[in-house]
Amino acid sequence: MHSACLPSPASPVKQETLMICRFTIGLSACLLLFTAWQPVAAADQSLEEVIPKGVTPDPAQREVVEALAARVSRCNAVYDEQGNLTAILLCNHNAFSRVKPETRPGVDDATFAQLSVVPSLRQMQLLKQPLSDDAFAILQQWPDLEIFCIEGHKGDNTGRFMRFINGHPKLKWLELKHLFGLDGTTVDELEAFPQLVRLELDNASATDRALPFLQRNPQIRDFELHRSTMSNEEIAELVDSLPNLERLALKPKGKCFDHRCLADVASLPKLKVFGFHHWKDKMFVWEDGIEHLADAPHLTHVECPKKMWDDEAMKKLRAAKPDLENAGKNIIVEFDDLSR
């Protein structure tokens, strides 16, 4: 599946239910949306298109897609039955390049702004694009946006591009990840998104600054917190804010939470999956730590390295929960309400 780790985003077929899985490959964990449509070969090697049979894409929109594809190493585009662009992925991550050994400059503000011809974009994923923060004002043109994922953005180092994510009441999936080198964040200014079910925060946004945003979105079911400096007490606030979590993955950074945070994690009434992402060996402690997960009534899976699956503390947890499975780093929770 490695060659398909970046999405051919959602099919335009009505009533089609999406099965959403996630794979961690190399440096980037990318969503994969399985659809019934086969991709269409394009003139530019970087471009893969999904076009319903018998449909001709809108010429102006397709021209913009081709201009974008010419600047990136990987581009996926999906059109609906009216020929409108509904989903796009723009990637300049070398690990996922379709044009090796060629390198490309990435999307600039002027080319990105040409997407204004698209009437209703529903999904966007951006990896390592040299865009300014102001370029994201175009998101306001698409109030029906459902999925927005961004990696490797720096802008002016304030994180103010996040403010343009507001105003999307249908947003269901949000990833602000691998924002290495970005010191600022405005995650605390993000509003309530009533339909948001999956969230991933990283680096500067994975701090106590995120707590007000989490408190506004108690309906979230799947949450990953990467490279976080939150304390045990702040993890407790996180848990209190998100009572509907079915999956939670925590990745520490520096002086932050430790094994004792699991006392609060285990109190989540719907928790099915817990991810020990990049936990150090010393964090796999049974007493007042992993032992609490034995009391999580619905826990069926953990995500941890094979080495730690055989750790003594994990062996005790497996003895207490004989049906417990190690899922590696795959999403177990499936959101079949993301349908057409």
Domain of 77, CATH number, reads: 3.80.10.10
254 confidence band (pLDDT: 50, 70, 90):
very high
Is-cis flag, bond preceding 297, omega within 30?
A: no
Q: Is the pLDDT of residue 270 over 70?
A: yes
> DSSP alpha helices (H): ranges in 46-203?
59-69, 109-113
Whether the predicted pLDDT of 11 surpasses 50 = no
Residue 176 lies in a domain: yes
Residue 305 belongs to some domain of the structure: no
Q: CA-to-CA distance for 313 and 169, rounded, in angstroms?
A: 43
Q: In this structure, is residue 145 part of a structural domain?
A: yes
Q: What is the pLDDT of residue 335?
A: 57
Give the pLDDT confidence score for residue 331 in this predicted structure: 64
Flag whether 280 is in a domain: no
Domain assignment present for residue 289? The answer is: no
Model confidence over 296-328: pLDDT tens digits? Answer: 999 999 999 999 999 999 999 999 999 999 998
Q: What per-residue confidence (pLDDT) applies to 42?
A: 72
pLDDT of residue 43: 77
| Interval 203-224 mean pLDDT | 98
Q: Is residue 21 part of a domain?
A: yes
Residue 50 scores a pLDDT above 50? yes
Which tens digits make up the pLDDT trace of 131-161? 999 999 999 999 999 999 999 999 999 999 9
Where does the pLDDT of residue 10 fall: very low under 50, low under 70, confident under 90, or very high at 90 and above?
very low
Q: Any residues with CB less than 8 A from the CB of 54 and at least 6 apart, and which?
A: none
Higher pLDDT, 329 or 163: 163
Q: pLDDT at position 285, please?
A: 98
Q: Is 83 left (phi over 0), alpha (psi -120 to 50) or beta?
A: left
Does residue 162 sit in helix, strand or coil?
helix
Range of the domain at 86: 2-260
Specify the number of domains making up the chain. Answer: 1
What's the sign of the alpha-carbon dihedral 245, 248, 252, 253?
A: negative
Residue 162 pLDDT exceeds 60: yes
Which helix (H) or strand (E) covers residue 308, if one does?
helix 306-309
pLDDT of residue 151: 97
Given this model, what pLDDT does residue 328 score? Answer: 80
335 within domain boundaries = no
What is the reported pLDDT for 41? 65
Q: How far apart are CA 240 and CA 195, in angstroms?
A: 19
- Give the per-residue pLDDT at 59: 98
Mean pLDDT, residues 231-245 = 98
Res. 245: pLDDT tops 90:
yes
Structural tokens at position 20: 């959403």
Residue 46 domain flag:
yes
Instruction: Give dist(CA 10, CA 16) in Å, integer.
Output: 9
> Which of 11-15, 128-132, 163-167 is predicted least confidently?
11-15
